[in-house]
């Protein structure tokens, strides 16, 4: 009974994104019974959520070996292999599950999702067609089918398909309405599109403590003042490996990362969570009684060297041969003060895009409510955008770490000049393959995964204009903060 209670606590902690707490509970459970399959499966999902892919695979493979006819471990492992871009392995795992559970909708949808993500859209369509043609598609199947129709330009079909599933459950309805909004936007039915985006955001509207967010920003600027930064230790490793790509979501960050990843001496690590996890655990790691960021007063030289070694070791493991690795965990913009202490020789690329284009793109995308709880409300979004701009202004005034500002509009209008500037900033020689980034095979798991497989385009410049009459709360906050 106690084990069941602890397992439920771990599951709830995972669902709330409290990954360290979930992991700690499961580690206690697994020490008492190393062959408990539910615990191994949960440990695999926790490691997966933390981007510890090798560790996650280890737990899941052990669970599958203990109970070879249980489908949970291979299903999660198939999702993991898809994220990693090992599509062949993912398809094989889905086929294994389907042999154990013939005709099961979940693995069929998962297999179609993998085909769609790897560009094999005809195979995804063939898998879903019997269900869609007969009106028997599940909510998840409808979502994958809608993404296929969006790629093929069948916008009216998306509107009709989503309308059949307006009784879908939470996260799936959230995604369905977002895709429907994009289809309506392509059809120039802008009022209907905005309404779909609004309803999509209402599905996942999250509590957001605005005062706590703003107070934390004030703490960051106070603790990482110019005067205090002069007294704090810097790590002594001398590594130039990291390139931090920071800014608001939907500001062109994935495009910049993909350009870098096309260079033979660079690698894009995607939304790499290691720095955020160091921030989450830093008080415990350094034995401080003060919360972050005030705990930085307790940092010793050994502390910054140890924390830096942890981060750099995890980053280097992503691609041991790379000379530069891009870390695109966007909210690292809040931690640039700590980044200067731990990796002072790193480079920072700050992505900028027109504030209204950035914000309407955030509002219309399915960004994680846990990571971005403010994007579902236009007024909150404006307040956070102003706060972000103020914090970046502070960092530029007090930090020594090099920061390059890249404007999305300039990149799409003068691709080669800006690409050369990015590579030069990162200490990389010019390589024309970076202009043909869309020919470079890589896995992108952000909302831009389809966009960065195409040549550069400028159709997203000025995207906010057809929605302007709906954006009053956002525009009021941006104007109040002097952003527009």
Q: How far apart are alpha carbons 43 and 72 in whole angstroms? A: 13
Question: How open is the CA angle 213-217-221, to the nearest 5 degrees?
Answer: 170
Q: How confident is the model at residue 413 (pLDDT cuts 50, 70, 90)?
A: very high
Runs of H (alpha helix) within 224-348:
226-229, 253-261, 274-286, 301-318, 336-342
What SS3 class is residue 244? strand
Asked if 293 contacts 337 with a C-beta cutoff of 8 angstroms, the reply is yes
Q: How far apart are alpha carbons 329 and 321 in whole angstroms? A: 21
Residue 442 has pLDDT above 60, yes or no: no
**Mean pLDDT value across residues 257-277:** 94
Domain 2-203 has CATH 3.20.130.10: no
The pTM assigned to this predicted structure is 0.86
Residues carrying CATH 1.25.40.10, the chain: 2-203
Q: How high is the mean pLDDT of the chain?
A: 93
> What is the per-residue pLDDT for 1?
60
Helix (H) or strand (E) holding 406: strand 403-407
Q: What is the CATH number of domain 210-480?
A: 3.40.50.300
Asked if 124 contacts 115 with a C-beta cutoff of 8 angstroms, the reply is yes
> What is the per-residue pLDDT for 18?
74
Q: How confident is the model at residue 452 (pLDDT cuts 50, 70, 90)?
A: low
Residues carrying CATH 3.40.50.300, the chain: 210-480
Residue 246 has pLDDT above 90, yes or no: yes
Exposure on the CB side of residue 117, measured as CA atoms within 13 A: 27
Q: What is the pLDDT of residues 272-290, one digit of tens each?
A: 889 998 998 899 999 999 9
**Mean pLDDT value across residues 94-115:** 95
For residue 44 the two structure tokens come to: 């695999």
Asked if 294 contacts 218 with a C-beta cutoff of 8 angstroms, the reply is no
Residue 26 has pLDDT above 80, yes or no: yes
> What is the per-residue pLDDT for 314?
93
Q: How far apart are alpha carbons 165 and 169 in whole angstroms? A: 9
> What is the per-residue pLDDT for 2?
81
Q: How confident is the model at residue 454 (pLDDT cuts 50, 70, 90)?
A: low
Q: How far apart are alpha carbons 262 and 439 in whole angstroms? A: 9
User: Of how many residues is the chain composed?
Assistant: 484
**Mean pLDDT value across residues 237-241:** 96
* φ, ψ (nearest 5 deg) of residue 261: -65, -25
> What is the per-residue pLDDT for 19?
76
Sheet with 347-352, edge to edge strand ranges? 266-268, 324-327, 242-246, 347-352, 403-407
């Amino acid at each position: 009974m106690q084990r069941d209670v602890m397992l439920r606590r771990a599951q709830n902690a995972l669902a709330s994104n409290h990954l360290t707490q979930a992991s700690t509970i499961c580690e206690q459970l697994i020490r008492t019974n190393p062959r408990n399959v539910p615990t191994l499966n949960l440990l695999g999902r926790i490691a997966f959520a933390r981007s510890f892919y090798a560790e996650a695979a280890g737990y899941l493979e052990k669970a599958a070996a203990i109970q070879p006819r249980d489908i949970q471990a291979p299903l999660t492992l198939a999702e993991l292999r898809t994220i990693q871009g090992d599509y062949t392995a993912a398809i094989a795992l889905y086929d294994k599950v389907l042999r154990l559970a013939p005709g099961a909708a979940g693995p069929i949808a998962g297999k179609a999702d993998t085909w769609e993500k790897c560009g094999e859209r005809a195979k995804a369509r063939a898998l879903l067609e019997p269900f869609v043609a007969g009106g028997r598609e599940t909510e998840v199947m409808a979502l994958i089918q809608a993404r296929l129709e969006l790629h093929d330009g069948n916008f009216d079909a998306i509107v009709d398909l989503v309308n059949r599933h307006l009784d879908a459950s939470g996260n799936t309805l959230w995604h369905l309405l977002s895709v429907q909004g994009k289809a309506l936007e392509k059809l120039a039915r802008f009022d209907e599109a905005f309404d779909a985006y609004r309803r999509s955001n209402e599905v996942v509207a999250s509590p957001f403590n605005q005062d706590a967010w703003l107070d934390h920003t004030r703490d960051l600027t106070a603790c990482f003042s110019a005067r205090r930064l002069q007294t704090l230790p810097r790590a002594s490793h001398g590594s130039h490996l990291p390139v931090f790509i920071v800014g608001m979501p939907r500001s062109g960050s994935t495009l910049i990362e993909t350009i870098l990843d096309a260079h033979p001496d660079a690698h894009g690590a995607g939304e790499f969570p290691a720095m955020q996890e160091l921030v989450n655990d830093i008080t415990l790691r350094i034995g401080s009684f003060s919360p972050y960021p005030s705990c930085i007063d307790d940092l010793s030289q050994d502390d910054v060297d140890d924390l830096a070694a942890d981060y750099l070791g995890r980053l280097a493991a992503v691609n041991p041969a790379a000379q530069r690795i891009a870390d695109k965990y966007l909210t690292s913009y809040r931690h640039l003060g700590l980044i200067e202490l731990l990796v002072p020789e790193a480079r920072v690329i700050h992505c900028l895009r027109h504030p209204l284009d950035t914000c309407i793109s955030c509002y219309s995308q399915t960004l994680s409510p846990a990571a971005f709880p403010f994007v579902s409300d236009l007024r909150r979004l404006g307040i956070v955008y102003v706060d972000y701009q103020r914090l970046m202004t502070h960092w530029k005034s007090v930090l020594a770490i090099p920061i390059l500002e890249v404007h999305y509009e300039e990149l799409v209008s003068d691709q080669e000049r800006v690409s050369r500037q990015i590579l030069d900033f990162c200490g990389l020689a010019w390589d024309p393959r970076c202009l043909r980034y869309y020919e470079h095979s890589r896995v992108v798991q952000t909302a831009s995964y389809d966009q960065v497989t195409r040549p550069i385009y400028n159709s997203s410049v000025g995207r906010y204009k057809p929605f302007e009459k709906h954006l009053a709360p956002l525009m009021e906050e941006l104007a109040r903060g002097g952003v527009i």
